[in-house]
Amino acid sequence: MTGFTDLYTEGDTFLHRMDPRVKIAAVVLLSFLAFVLTELRYLIILLAFIFLLLLMARARLTKTVFALKFVLRLMLLIAILWPFFDRSGTPVIVSMGPINITEPAIWRGATSAVRVGCLAAVWYILMFTTSQRDLVLALVRMGLRFDYGLTVAITLRFFPTFVSIIDSITDAQKARGLEFERGNIVKRSRNYVAVLVPAIVTALRTSDALSLALQSRAYGARTDRTYVRELHMRATDYAALAIFVALLVVPLAARHVFSVSV
């Protein structure tokens, strides 16, 4: 778990070099595209395209496998469960008591599974290739207030720390004879109080110390902030942005102007 809290992998692929704002735009545009497309085959092409980009990001294999597993499990779950709840259409394949499975429902389930797969996988393009620092910088440059940007940065930065604190607290309570898996649900949830209370207290103490550290380094002394790193859109960034926009516009035009089913 701890190893995957930061998905970013250092690298020098075109995706790493791409302006983070373009990557954020790409995630948004491709997500819209996943909703625009209704034909299963086009959604599969979109999913394949997203995975192609992921491959080109050259993330470490363990991370890619982790990401893939998550997306595939999610897709499988949707594909399997969908026909049980969507009972409309003919022909009916199975009809046993409350279970009524139809062929169109199976197709709709598959379509939704691939769509959700696209929506989940598209984030990895951004997360694999953009450092947290760049991500926050991009958000601030796109109009987010710096305070909020910093909050996002701190949250991301402290997430792994917090995970390891929780591990350590769990170990400490186990060493005091606490068995998390024992007892009924009430007893079990009470066991977690022994982890949650120290975790919250430690988090509060940490944030208190952090705010002092920020103030003692003159945080907020200037309202007109300057930045060590600046973002610059280059020609390739504009080209990439144009391609991502086109990817969304072309199917929309195909449907509404040329009445092609996509």
Partner 1 sequence: MIPRPDSSSHDERIISVNGVKFSYDGCVPALAGVTLNLKRGEYVAIVGGNGSGKTTLAKMLNGLLKPASGTVTVRGKSTLDQSVAELARYVGYAFQNPDHQLFCSTVDDEVRFGPHNLGYKGDDLSKKVGRALETMRLTQLKDKPPLSLTLGQRRRISIASVIAMDSEVLIFDEPTTGLDTQETDDLMSSIEGLNREGRTIVLITHDMRLVAKHAKRVVVMSRGRIVLDTDPRGAFSDLDLLRASSMLPPPVVILAQRLKKYGLSGEALSPEELLYLVFRGKGGIR
- How many C-beta atoms surround the C-beta of residue 91 within 10 A? 7
CB 18 within 8 A of CB 240: yes
- Residue 113, judged by CB atoms within 10 A of its CB (0-12, 13-18, 19+), counts as buried
- CB 177, min distance to partner 1, A: 3
Applying the rule CB under 8 A, the residues between 225 and 244 that interact with partner 1 are: none
User: DSSP 3-state assignment of 262?
Assistant: coil
Distance CA 247, CA 226 (A): 36
Binding partner 1 (rule: CB under 8 A), the pick from 165, 247, 249, 262 is 165
Which region, judged by CB under 8 A, interacts with partner 1, from 30-38, 138-146, 175-183, 219-227? 175-183
44 binds partner 1 (CB under 8 A): no
175 binds partner 1 (CB under 8 A): yes
User: DSSP 3-state assignment of 222?
Assistant: coil
- CB 193, min distance to partner 1, A: 7
Considering the complex, state which of residue 212 and residue 253 has its C-beta at the smaller distance from partner 1.
212
User: Where are the strands (E) in the chain, listed by range?
Assistant: 92-96, 99-102
Which region, judged by CB under 8 A, interacts with partner 1, from 85-93, 113-121, 124-132, 201-209? 201-209
Binding partner 1 (rule: CB under 8 A), the pick from 39, 103, 147, 179 is 179
Going 144 to 146 to 147 to 153, the CA torsion angle's sign is positive
198 binds partner 1 (CB under 8 A): yes
Considering the complex, state which of residue 3 and residue 104 has its C-beta at the smaller distance from partner 1.
3
Considering the complex, state which of residue 176 and residue 225 has its C-beta at the smaller distance from partner 1.
176
174 binds partner 1 (CB under 8 A): yes
**Structure-block tokens of residue 68:** 């893939």
- CB 181, min distance to partner 1, A: 9
Considering the complex, state which of residue 80 and residue 196 has its C-beta at the smaller distance from partner 1.
196
Radius of gyration of the chain (CA): 24
Distance CA 149, CA 152 (A): 5
Provide the residue count of the chain. Answer: 262
Among the listed residues 33, 2, 29, the one whose alpha carbon sits nearest the alpha carbon of residue 166: 2
Binding mask 2-21 for partner 1 (x = CB under 8 A): -x------------------
176 binds partner 1 (CB under 8 A): yes
Interface positions with partner 1 (CB under 8 A): 3, 165, 168-169, 171-179, 193-194, 196-198, 201-202, 205
